[in-house]
Structure 1
Amino acid sequence: MSAIAWIAVGSLAAWVWLLLGRGFFWRTDQRLPRREEPDGWPDVAVVVPARDEAGVLPVSLPSLLSQDYPGRAEIFLVDDGSQDGTGALARELARLHGGLPLTVVSPGAPEPGWTGKLWALRHGIALARARGPEGEPEYLLLTDADIAHAPDSLRELVAAAGADGLDLVSQMARLRVVSAWERLVVPAFVYFFAQLYPFRWVNRAGARTAAAAGGCVLLRNGAAARARVPDSIRQAVIDDVSLAAAVQRSGGGIWLGLAERVDSVRPYPRLGDLWRMVSRSAYAQLRHSPSLLAGTVAGLALVYLAPPLTLCAGLLSVDGTAAWAGGLAWAVMTATYLPVLRYYRQPLWLAPALPFTAVLYLLMTVGSAVQHYRGRGAAWKGRTYPRPEAAPER
């Protein structure tokens, strides 16, 4: 066989393995597990880290304030050095909408060795634990400031965690898909994340794969204490995966799935917005390793770029093996992307364009590495986090 044919066959073999041997990552049926309403509803503290979120709070915060939760629940919004009046707006929204009690705190700039979000979570959790004569809450709902919840979201999360004895229940919020670039890039973000962390592998008993979606995490307070969260992960840029791994290492049961009525309202209308969202943590995902970066680039090229390229090359050179193997690999790739597009209610004709989207992600990953070596890696909202060293123990 020709070299092109060998590449095509190798890509096809990779796709057969991804289709059958990667935890059926492409399926979208991992939703909240069975729910049983408890006899008594436990206390919950909702902790919301917020930095310059005035643009999204009018949509997201009222959805938390109006939670239909039968037990005691309270919201702690941690204003992480905002310059746009986030804290004042949150207080005004609570005054206008009522609902769950809201406390707004501003802990100041993070100490060295802490990322801003985890610093904010640390103060919010500490405040929740020290609150009131009723004692510490049984659960912590850690949710981002751009996440809007259906009225029964908290009730459903607590019921699911209690029914299966889970210590961490996380839902990947449905991201906004409105602009053309969002349609092209956002569903693929969820697809690639599930490929990297297959939800079935995360959710099975005794799993070694750990992941969570940071926008919506219900965490048992006792499990957080055992895992020393967030102190034990205070330097993590990819904090949601690090959080799940810490809980899992401490013996906690974790679960991750797709959300049905938990939505991100943050817009990413331009390619540059999406580029910054992905590239800020892409190289951190590769542990800032040049060798892992090179392997990732080669892997993305073989898996996503080789099928259409070898198909075209095979047709032009009348290389039948290259053409059929490349075409079949592209067909398998397209078929695995369809469930995610259906979940996002997007046109199915976008599925064959996945190789082009993969090129964008490849460039974003390389760009993330370039930014890191220029000293601007993991930049977000005016902060840049350098390559983390070992965090000092306290």
Structure 2
Amino acid sequence: MDAVVWTAVGSLTVWLWLLLGQGFFWRTDLRLPPRRDPDDWPAVCVVVPARDEAGVLPASLPTLLAQDYPGRAEVFLVDDGSSDGTGELARDLARAHGGLPLTVDSPGEPPAGWTGKLWAVRHGIALARTREPVYLLLTDADIAHAPDSLRTLVAAAHTGGFDLVSQMARLRVESVWERLVVPAFVYFFAQLYPFRWIAVRGGRTAAAAGGCVLLRADTAERARIPDAVRHAVIDDVALARAVKRAGGHIWLGLAERVDSVRPYPRLRDLWRMVARSAFAQLRHNPLLLLGTVLGLALVYLVPPLALVTGLVVGSTGTAAAGGLAWLLMTATYLPMLRYYRQPRWLAPLLPVTAFLYLLMTVDSAVQHYRGRGAAWKGRTYARPGTVLDER
């Protein structure tokens, strides 16, 4: 029992440190920083990479075209080899809704060493640079923006002197599995990359949310975006790191009126979303994988197990340490559930969700070592050293 007690105490110690020493990652009050309107609104080009997005485009693209932006702005949608008529649908939506000018183009299949999305982004940025924009808004095809989204992003970047301003779009939470998994996804992301640390000049922490990234065009050129991150599966984090390495000042926070309209109704949809990049997040390192599995077990699985074990065998210390750790875990998760407008009773179930993420991470590694790499929308990016398999 001594080992069980000390393991429970170790988990409680980790939770006390996470509560106070990890950039207050659990707080959800970080929104766009204070801002004022510029005297002259700079030109902005919006770049939207899209592959087989006909299902979500009617709910997202019209919101971009309807942006209430006082300066010059236009939208470039780059059709990344879609087979569902994404490009033509985009043109139809532009004709029906009007608004900002829309250009639809396609770069063809990506060459070796490029992910499809980043190849599309590269093409979109090249088209945009002919308009000499001050800012580029990189946004995904499943992201719906409030009418003032662009102007508030630009005002925040202008006021704070940021080279990159990113908002983590509010993901859809409607199905049972989305309620269980999605808020935890953002919670875990914030735990890995505390938002308050990201905005610290000269700090090492860098991350962005790929669904909504406003980037200064000259900074993108200086940081060699996207060429410098052309192979990255987790492209938003890689992009932010490249910008920070180039001396850029970045900011990331939660969005209020920027929403993902992509549904993940089934567990396998969410599983695929997480597993496709989980092992890449660990740099394909088996030691990091082992450490992550043990860490997830210690931090999220030990507390409820210690509480139950302590109560069963009559070990007050084990039960107290496990119960307090579980209580801290639950308390830190409540703000994220409130942000997603979910019931509080989901908070104590975080160990269940963490166990699912542990399995997804292991599955990601298994697929990697089978040579499957990261698969998304018909493309499979093989692990380094293998032949690229695109289906």
Per the shorter chain, which TM-score range? Answer: over 0.9
Q: Deviations over 1:3-25 (max 9, x none)?
A: 11111000000000100000000
The equivalent residue for 2:388 is none
CA drift at 1:206: 2.1
Paired residues for 1:174-253 under 5 Å: 174-253=170-249
Equivalent residue for 1:308, pick from 278, 300, 304: 304
Change in CA separation of 1:242 and 1:358 when aligned onto 2, cut-off 3 Å:
same
The answer to whether the 8 A contact 2:28-2:339 is kept is yes
Q: Deviations over 1:95-152 (max 9, x none)?
A: 0000000000011000110001100000000001124xxxx10000000000000000
The one-letter amino acid paired with 1:292 is L
The one-letter amino acid paired with 1:49 is P
The answer to whether the 8 A contact 2:371-2:382 is kept is yes
> TM-score, normalized by length of structure 2?
0.98
Secondary structure of the residue that 2:258 maps to in structure 1?
strand
Paired residues for 1:1-394 under 5 Å: 2-131=2-131, 136-388=132-384
Determine the C-alpha separation between the residues in 2 that align with 1:201 and 1:103: 37
CA drift at 1:374: 1.1
Determine the C-alpha separation between the residues in 1 that align with 2:244 and 2:104: 31
Determine the C-alpha separation between the residues in 2 that align with 1:309 and 1:365: 21
Runs of at least 5 residues in structure 2 that lack an aligned partner in the other structure? 386-391
CA drift at 1:388: 4.2
CA drift at 1:204: 1.9
Determine the C-alpha separation between the residues in 2 that align with 1:378 and 1:70: 40
Determine the C-alpha separation between the residues in 2 that align with 1:8 and 1:228: 47
Determine the C-alpha separation between the residues in 2 that align with 1:28 and 1:204: 18
The one-letter amino acid paired with 2:123 is H
Determine the C-alpha separation between the residues in 2 that align with 1:53 and 1:138: 28
- How big is the alpha-carbon RMSD for the aligned residues of Structure 1 and Structure 2? 0.7
The answer to whether the 8 A contact 2:369-2:383 is kept is no
The answer to whether the 8 A contact 1:77-1:103 is kept is yes
CA drift at 1:217: 0.1
The answer to whether the 8 A contact 2:274-2:360 is kept is yes
Determine the C-alpha separation between the residues in 2 that align with 1:388 and 1:171: 31
The answer to whether the 8 A contact 2:372-2:383 is kept is no
Aligned-pair identity (%): 78
Secondary structure of the residue that 1:237 maps to in structure 2?
coil
Q: Deviations over 1:57-90 (max 9, x none)?
A: 0000000000000000000000000000000000
Determine the C-alpha separation between the residues in 2 that align with 1:301 and 1:265: 32
Q: Deviations over 1:299-344 (max 9, x none)?
A: 0000000000010000000011100000000000000000000000
The one-letter amino acid paired with 1:363 is L
The answer to whether the 8 A contact 2:232-2:238 is kept is yes
The one-letter amino acid paired with 1:79 is D
Determine the C-alpha separation between the residues in 2 that align with 1:327 and 1:129: 56
The answer to whether the 8 A contact 1:235-1:388 is kept is no
The equivalent residue for 1:392 is none
Runs of at least 5 residues in structure 1 that lack an aligned partner in the other structure? 390-394
Determine the C-alpha separation between the residues in 2 that align with 1:192 and 1:377: 22
Determine the C-alpha separation between the residues in 2 that align with 1:294 and 1:344: 31
The one-letter amino acid paired with 1:99 is G
Determine the C-alpha separation between the residues in 2 that align with 1:146 and 1:56: 6
Determine the C-alpha separation between the residues in 1 that align with 2:160 and 2:3: 52
Determine the C-alpha separation between the residues in 2 that align with 1:35 and 1:161: 8
Determine the C-alpha separation between the residues in 2 that align with 1:249 and 1:29: 27
Determine the C-alpha separation between the residues in 2 that align with 1:280 and 1:215: 17
CA drift at 1:220: 0.2
The one-letter amino acid paired with 2:204 is R
CA drift at 1:377: 1.9
The answer to whether the 8 A contact 1:67-1:153 is kept is yes
Determine the C-alpha separation between the residues in 1 that align with 2:372 and 2:79: 24
Structure 1 segments of 4 or more deviating over 3 A? Answer: none
The one-letter amino acid paired with 1:236 is A
Aligned length: 385
Q: Deviations over 1:182-222 (max 9, x none)?
A: 00000000000000000011012222100000000000000
Q: Deviations over 1:357-386 (max 9, x none)?
A: 000000000000011111112100011112
